[in-house]
Amino acid sequence: MFKVCLLFFLFLGIFFPIFSQDTDSLVLSKASKAFDLASVSSDSAYILANEALTAAQKSSFKRGIANSYNALGWIYMHKGNLDSSFYFLQESRSVFANENSPYDVARVNINLTEVLTKQSRFGEALVFALEADSLSFALKDVALQTDTKRLLGILYREQGDHAKSIEYFNEAIKGFELQGDLRRSVNTAISLSILLRKINLVDSSLTVLEKCLETIDEIENNEYQLAMVREHLGDTFYLKDMFEESLRQYIMAYKLFERLGNKADMAYEGLVIGKAQIALKKFNEAEFFLTQAFSISDSLGFLNYQFDAASELANLYQETGQWQKAFDYLNRAGVMKDSLDQQKQLSNMSELKEKYESEKRDQEIALLKSNMELENSRARRRVQFQIFAIFLFLASLGIAYLIFNRYRLKQELNEQILRNQISSDLHDEIGSTLSSIDVNSRIALLKMDDKETVAGQLQKIQQNTRSIMDNLSQIVWSINPNNDSLEKLIFRMKDFAAEILEPLGIQYAFHQGGNLSEFNLNPVFRKNVYLIFKEAVNNCAKYSKATEVSISLEVNNNLLFIEIADNGKGFDYQREMIKSNGLQNMENRAKQIRGKFELKTEPDSGTSIKLEAPVT
């Protein structure tokens, strides 16, 4: 009996650890397979990940639990459930950190960065990406380094640093190709194509995406990536006004996402399909897809997609003269917007409501006229004259009302444009600067031991704070009605030129022509003219190395002519235009005031900037 017991325990001692190791390996294998299947078959991946998690929890296998959480987070991201994705990835990271596994922490950090980027939480995403970058270099892991470069390319793209973003993307694409990782190579190329479209290099974006299609042919079970490439091809053709081809690409992407059961991407594809069909005047088909996009977005709780779908439906119904439906969808969109955007939508709704009510009144008047003509057909001419006189009187009142109402709507529209401009300035100029301050402070906190880095970030925070103060001062000046005259604008321009050029010893001269005192300017015109002038003078001071600047202002035939010319070193206009936000902003501001912008320069030949804009 003793020998039998001894043999039994010896059997357990030898084979139980082997059985346990086999179970752990099976858990890790299932979690890894679930992660790989996430973009191909999310439902099958979800079943595998849950099986792995249950087995790992049963045996208290921490590494298995963490890998299962990571797989579930990745699956939920591909399903479009980003909050659930973030939760499981955070749980995975916590377990790996407790297990002291820096490689796995870096791996999950990369996945967290992906999710946060999709949610436009770029400050938080950068924190995880920088930590992953530090860990990957400490581990000397080329695969992690390459993936981190891809994410940094995305984050720098969103911050507006296009040159650095392109550099990181190209390094990442090269790294993935060397590793034979074609899936990630395609993902990175898609991100690069987005950036190229953003800086108006649409043909270059198209070339990148067409190469992606060739690469995808070499990858099996890759419908999700194929759908993404089709979607971005649709976006690119849309920018080229090739709406038929754009629609074809969007529909192929939609069918792929539908087959994969990806509701979030189906909602977006329905939205862009609707936009393309509106451009092609296919209003019935557009209505179907936009309504479907609105419904799916509502079920997923995606307010941004709901708002876009509601806005496009409102535009569609305006195009087709269905004022009540347009009013209803603008009302829905208004509920989803913040207070400033709600004011814009309410203004549009008011205009549509007036049109709808006006249409009803016109129908009622037409019906009344018909009845009156029928009732008075047997009456004498004197009675007919009286009726005609009454009709003329009512028509005069109606015309007077329409004229007054048109004037009132125009005033409301001007006020709304001003509100929108202020909202845009606060968001674009101050909001983005505050985001930069947030990012700089996070970097400083991460690099507390690096005094030089911290000092550099604090200096950037100081510069950004000063920029916010200047922008707020500019906004207040632009909306003050006391500054509406052209004379006040010129006075401010002279004051700014003196402030910038005199400390640098740059000689400058103002030349004025025409009667400048008789013109009043609206705030939008005044602000854009001043900012174009400000950007031009700043460029003279910072980059041109000029010793003389000539500034000419003239009003002729209700046109304002401004020229800023320097004797500086000049530059290559075509090359600088691609990477200079300042030059692009000047062109865009000129378009906003229906003006013409012209820049002439060559290396070693100085620079001349001309603006021509109507002042009435």
Q: Rg of the chain over CA atoms, in angstroms? A: 32
Pair 340, 419: CB distance under 8 Å: yes
For 15-36, the pLDDT digits (tens) are: 444 344 567 888 888 888 989 8
Write the secondary structure of 204-236 as one string of H (helix), E (strand) and C (coil): HHHHHHHHHHHHHCCCCCCHHHHHHHHHHHHHH
pLDDT band at 14 (very low <50, low <70, confident <90, very high): very low
Give the tens place of pLDDT for each residue, 436-450. Answer: 777 778 777 887 887
So what's the pLDDT on residue 20? 46
Q: Strand 507-513: give its sheet, edge to edge.
A: 507-513, 548-556, 559-566, 607-614, 596-601
**Per-residue pLDDT for 338 more than 70?**
no
Residue 441 pLDDT: 82
C-alpha dihedral (555, 561, 565, 571), degrees to nearest 10 = 180
Render pLDDT for 486-524 as a digit per residue (tens, 0 to 9): 888 888 889 889 988 998 899 999 998 877 766 778 888
Strands 596-601, 559-566: pairing is unpaired
What is the phi/psi pair of residue 180, to 5°?
75, 20
Task: Using pLDDT thresholds of 50, 70 and 90, give the confidence band for residue 154.
Answer: confident
Q: How far is residue 351's CA from residue 357's CA, in Å, rounded to a whole number?
A: 10
Confidence category of residue 13, pLDDT binned at 50, 70, 90: very low
Phi first, then psi: give them for residue 562, nearest 5 degrees: -130, 135
Q: pTM above the 0.85 mark?
A: no
**C-beta of residue 229 within 8 angstroms of C-beta of residue 237:** no
Average confidence score pLDDT of the chain: 80
Q: What is the pLDDT of residues 158-198, one digit of tens each?
A: 878 888 888 888 888 888 888 888 888 888 888 888 889 88
Contacts of 228 (CB under 8 A, 6+ apart): 190, 253
Of 373 and 522, more confident = 522
What pLDDT is recorded for position 21? 52
**Mean pLDDT value across residues 354-378:** 47
pLDDT for residue 424: 65
- Does the pLDDT value for residue 334 go beyond 70? yes
Percent of the chain's residues with pLDDT above 90: 15
Report how far apart the first and last C-alpha atoms of the chain are (Å, whole number).
111
**Which residues partner with 596 through β-bridges?**
612
Integer CA distances (angstroms), 511 to 376, 514, 534, in order: 72, 11, 17
- Which percentage of the chain shows pLDDT scores above 70? 82
Report, as an integer, the average pLDDT of 575-596.
82
Q: Specify the pLDDT at position 75.
A: 92
Distance CA 51, CA 122 (A): 33
Among 49-53, 215-219, 326-330, the range with the most confident prediction by mean pLDDT is 49-53
Q: Which stretch of 65-79, 233-247, 325-339 has the lowest confidence by average pLDDT?
A: 325-339
**What is the average pLDDT across 468-478?**
73
**Domains in the chain, please, with CATH?**
481-614 (3.30.565.10)
What pLDDT shows up at residue 602?
Answer: 86
Give me the amino acid identity at 382. Answer: R
pLDDT band at 592 (very low <50, low <70, confident <90, very high): confident
pLDDT at residue 348 is higher than 50: no
Q: What is the pLDDT of residue 292?
A: 86
Pairing of strands 507-513, 548-556: parallel
Residue 359 in this model has a pLDDT that exceeds 50: no
| Alpha-carbon gap, residue 310 to 471, rounded angstroms | 33
